[in-house]
A and B are shown apart, each in its own frame.
Chain A
Amino acid sequence: MDIVLYENYSEKEAIVKDIQSAYTLTGSLRGESSIINPSFLIEHSNPSNYNYCYIAEFGRYYFISNITSVRTGIWKIDCSVDVLMSFQDAILALDVTVSDASIGDQRPTYMNGDVWQTTVKTKTDVIVFPSGLLDDGEYILITSGG
């Protein structure tokens, strides 16, 4: 089975990964392996630079979670499926309701959220109305009769 090893420079949560330095080799699955968390043996001088791979037969991308030296030139690669990269097109086509987004249709900044942090201090603005009641009053005398 062909396995393409990569150097992944993107974070795990990125749907589409920035993967480089593709190196294709042939390996064999080691014993019973799942397609979600496969392990396989490869022949390589030193695959420690690689942290990501693609297995065409499974149609999936994987994080390399561990690399173990079996013997000189033979390495065991433990992988876990990267569901985001593996199904990127279908995931990007999903209809979603978003609670937080770096960039959306517009930036509704009147929604509450944890990001709106303040210090314990406040500032005060005073706006005085243009006019008011009399500063000095006017006498009113009320008498009986008149």
Chain B
Amino acid sequence: MPIAPDMVDTVQNYDVDDLLYASSGGSGGNNTIRVQSTQEIVSRRELVHVDMADSYDIPVEDGYIRFGHYESTGPAYTTQEIQRVTQDAVDSNTSIIKRSTIKQPYNTSVDPQTGKMTVSGQPKSGMLSTNAAYFINAVNAAQFCTSTGVALGKGFDSYLYNANPDYWDSIGLQTLNPETWASLTSENESLGARVFNAIFGIDPDTGNAQMYMDADAFAYIAQCMKEAGILETGETVANTYTPIDDTWTISQVQKDTLILPVYVGGKTAITSYGRTSVAVSDYDVYSVFAKKPWDSTSTQWDTVAWFFSEHPFTAYHYNNNTPSQTFNDRVTQKTINGKTYYYTVSGSATITNNVYTAEPQYTEFTVRSPVNMDDTFIYMIFNTQLSTSGGVDGVTDQPNATLPDTSDWTDQQSTDASLRQQYPDLYNNSIKYDVPDAQGNIIEKEYIPVAWPNSVGNPWTDTQPTTDTSVQTQTNTMVNLLTGLATQVDNLTKTITQTANTTPTGTLPPAENPTDTGSGSSPVPVSTSGSSSKLWSVYHPTQVQVDAFGAWLWSTNFIDQIMKMFQNPMEGIISLHKVFATPIDAGTGNIIVGTLDSGVASATVTQQYVYVSCGSVDCHEDFGNVFDYSPHTQVSLYLPFIGIVPLDVSDVMRSTITIEYGVDMFTGACLAMVKVSRDGATVNMYQYAGSASVEYPLSNVQQSQLLSGILAVAAGGAAIATGGMSMSAGAAVIGGAANAMKSNVGRSGGFSGNAGAMGIKKPYLIIQRPQTKVASLFPRLAGYPTNISGQLSDFSGQVKVTDVHVEGIPATDVELTQIEELLHSGVLV
């Protein structure tokens, strides 16, 4: 069993998130190590071959493997040259973006004579398969924290980073136990942060890949999460309050914006005598009141009212209907969770049968508060109708996940022991290695399987990973590199389908509304593996190389030779175009036309399809009501090389929108896939085709064809108002739901190809929202639109009834009809 060097040291100087793999075949010779980024493998679902039997030409010096990694604008390097890139070459050539140095992986051996490396060795347990290979990679703290959370049944969305973009820096990883933190991580100079070791296991036969985390790191991060409150589940509570003394009843909160008398249960409680009113201007003041039977006859009530607002206000307390004193000092200011609120409280009054028989004199305010008007109460009133306590915004619980019991997590040891007990599968599927510790003693370290979180852009640098577009869960942590995530989605879909088939349909009682959340995700498209063949060759030249090729093309020598083969020399050139995605180079070679070697070197391309992630954005509600939806709000999306397309606002509101482009290198065709993630499901909701390439005319015939195509697009795609009138169901015509009658205006025409190249290359979302003009008094005068049933006494204030059976009332027929008409037209309860 090979003894691995210290895992932390292994990734020192490791400045790219490269995953080593070996491919057989391809240009540059067999058995060469090629470098790909982890993100590319995951997002493009490429096959990763690990041929354990082969050995590899890798220059190994002093126990280090050195290789370069260049971007597409760099010069052409053979694979061998890439591997032998020296530091001097990096310093002098800016096209070589990165040069990596990695210590020899633990499970490899190198022949000192030939320099050939052989991958060998297996973990002590938990292998994916007998052919699986395991490579070490570095992962940033945010990635590992997210993976830990997923293992503990949590999910993370972008709300987590709203208040703090560097959220994971704030949960105490460095400070909980600095010694442990230092032992689990290593400093990465290029990143400017400390990183963890992750092990990637890859099964070449199945394409399954699994990331493993140090079990010690898992326990440490879990303990930090507990301290930060991440593992708590927020409790949603209704916006009501139970008084300490249950002989008091508390009304629901009312909101009024004018001077008003105190209302008790909708009735005017204090009118001529001892009235408390609140003067406000342009902001809202809320009131809530309590009443208690004065005696057993319940004909007399004690009442007390509170007024509160996010803005300072003046409370006028009247005596005998005459303003005697402005009790402005009675308005108390409180600051809760960084927000400031103001409130005051009236004195108590007595009413009997709605008529005042005793009028308190407000010379002294004695607050006979039946409940504690404390911070929590005010905070609950102000924030949402449904407020939450505990938990962290942006952290959710996975459905049916096993959430941890953290009650006995006092230190890392107790946390580790508790995790092993609560999550035995993690440790049953772990892999173990013998590694030296800091003192050089050989110890066994354990690595548990965890999920890969979703990252925007480079996962190496992304510090805001989320899980809302991932199909990986607490129990589903493996990724398949052959089919990408398709296998995982298929498995998940089958599971959901099975569950759905066993659930009886049509059994909901008529009065019950099904859940408001949808489910199900669309399958992940599998990329086609087109490649060049002997019938044609595909090159990826630079501008210099194109110029050199052109010079050769029109040299006397070329024309003489090519004329022997083609009637028209240009028949040797199939196409020259620019694509707006980075091709995946297969190697380098001279440009060949027919059988003629131009002598001009160029990178070659065999991978026909390339996928480009444009990242994700969130589409939030702005109003939190009907205004966020059609017909009031309209959403459209600009897509490079396609144009501006309308989206159904109900599809995308409250969701995360992710865009991925598939580009055909050979033809320039592109497919923009718009994925919408909401309620735990991701759907490939919209797909648009276009052309992400610019064609270059190589002959006058081709130029004519190009121009015809461009003119046709321009003629057919002018931005015009289509005149379509949209009106949502239920939108009133009279009284002006005027915005419902907006015409649909096309904002762009056809936008592909040569024209598209002049456009913006980043997608953007356009959200058109209304400027509202809601009357401030409508809740009191008209009521909120609703559709709920109950006893009429359950409601208060203005109430308009749609359905009622006027029965059980000893009234005449005329009176019954009048009652029904009044209920339909609106009554004051």
| B-binding residues in A (CB < 8 A) | 9-11, 13-20, 22, 35-36, 81, 83-84, 86-87, 90-135, 137-146
A18–B592 touching, CB < 8 Å: no
Which are the 5 A-B pairs with shortest beta-carbon distances? A102-B797, A146-B537, A113-B785, A137-B578, A132-B762
Give chain B residues whose Cβ lies under 8 Å from the Cβ of A14.
827-828
B827–A97 touching, CB < 8 Å: no
- Closest beta carbon of chain A to B816's beta carbon, Å: 8
Give chain A residues whose Cβ lies under 8 Å from the Cβ of B811.
83, 86-87
- Contacts A96-B803, A99-B800 supplied; 20 other A-B pairs, CB < 8 Å: A36-B812, A93-B793, A96-B792, A99-B786, A99-B801, A100-B785, A100-B798, A101-B788, A101-B798, A102-B796, A103-B797, A108-B787, A114-B735, A116-B774, A119-B772, A131-B612, A140-B666, A141-B549, A141-B591, A143-B574
**Residue of chain B at shortest CB distance from A99:** B802
The answer to whether A142 and B786 touch (CB under 8 A), given A110-B629, A115-B778, is no
Is B80 positioned at the interface, with any CB of A under 8 Å from its CB?
Answer: no
Is B775 positioned at the interface, with any CB of A under 8 Å from its CB?
Answer: yes
The answer to whether A140 and B583 touch (CB under 8 A), given A9-B268, A83-B819, is yes
CA distance A95 to B788 in the complex (A): 11
- Closest beta carbon of chain B to A33's beta carbon, Å: 14
B739–A118 touching, CB < 8 Å: yes
- Closest beta carbon of chain B to A84's beta carbon, Å: 6
Give chain A residues whose Cβ lies under 8 Å from the Cβ of B732.
112-114
Quick one: which of A35, A36, A83, A137 contacts B822, CB cutoff 8 A?
A83
- Closest beta carbon of chain B to A52's beta carbon, Å: 12
Residues 556 to 585 of chain B near chain A (Cβ within 8 Å): 571-583
A145–B775 touching, CB < 8 Å: no
Give chain A residues whose Cβ lies under 8 Å from the Cβ of B578.
137-140
Is B294 positioned at the interface, with any CB of A under 8 Å from its CB?
Answer: no
A87–B819 touching, CB < 8 Å: yes
B579–A104 touching, CB < 8 Å: no
B271–A9 touching, CB < 8 Å: yes
A93–B783 touching, CB < 8 Å: no
Can you list, as one digit per residue, whether each of B770-786 has a CB less than 8 Å from chain A (1) or not (0)? 11111100111011111
Is B371 positioned at the interface, with any CB of A under 8 Å from its CB?
Answer: no
The answer to whether A109 and B624 touch (CB under 8 A), given A100-B800, A115-B784, is yes
Give chain A residues whose Cβ lies under 8 Å from the Cβ of B613.
131
Residues 709 to 765 of chain B near chain A (Cβ within 8 Å): 728-732, 735-739, 757, 760-765
- Closest beta carbon of chain A to B159's beta carbon, Å: 15
The answer to whether A97 and B625 touch (CB under 8 A), given A107-B385, A139-B542, A139-B578, is no
Give chain B residues whose Cβ lies under 8 Å from the Cβ of A102.
254, 779-780, 783-784, 795-799
Is B543 positioned at the interface, with any CB of A under 8 Å from its CB?
Answer: yes
B580–A133 touching, CB < 8 Å: yes
Quick one: which of A94, A108, A137 contacts B784, CB cutoff 8 A?
A108
A91–B581 touching, CB < 8 Å: no
Give chain B residues whose Cβ lies under 8 Å from the Cβ of A128.
617, 762-765
Residue pairs across A and B with Cβ atoms less than 8 A apart, 12 shown, are A16-B266, A96-B799, A98-B789, A118-B770, A130-B615, A132-B761, A133-B692, A133-B762, A139-B578, A140-B583, A141-B602, A143-B572
Give chain A residues whose Cβ lies under 8 Å from the Cβ of B355.
19-20, 22
**Residue of chain A at shortest CB distance from B640:** A133
**Residue of chain A at shortest CB distance from B798:** A102
CA distance A143 to B764 in the complex (A): 36
**Residue of chain A at shortest CB distance from B627:** A116
**Residue of chain A at shortest CB distance from B622:** A125
CA distance A15 to B793 in the complex (A): 10
- Closest beta carbon of chain B to A88's beta carbon, Å: 10
Can you list, as one digit per residue, whether each of B503-542 has a CB less than 8 Å from chain A (1) or not (0)? 0000000000000000000000000000010111111111
The answer to whether A101 and B786 touch (CB under 8 A), given A118-B773, A141-B539, is yes
Give chain B residues whose Cβ lies under 8 Å from the Cβ of A124.
766-769
Which of B575, B583, B775, B794 gathers the greatest number of chain A CB atoms within 10 Å?
Answer: B794
Give chain A residues whose Cβ lies under 8 Å from the Cβ of B618.
127
B728–A112 touching, CB < 8 Å: yes
Residues 798 to 825 of chain B near chain A (Cβ within 8 Å): 798-812, 814-815, 818-819, 822-823, 825
Give chain B residues whose Cβ lies under 8 Å from the Cβ of A90.
808-810
Is B90 positioned at the interface, with any CB of A under 8 Å from its CB?
Answer: no
B802–A97 touching, CB < 8 Å: yes
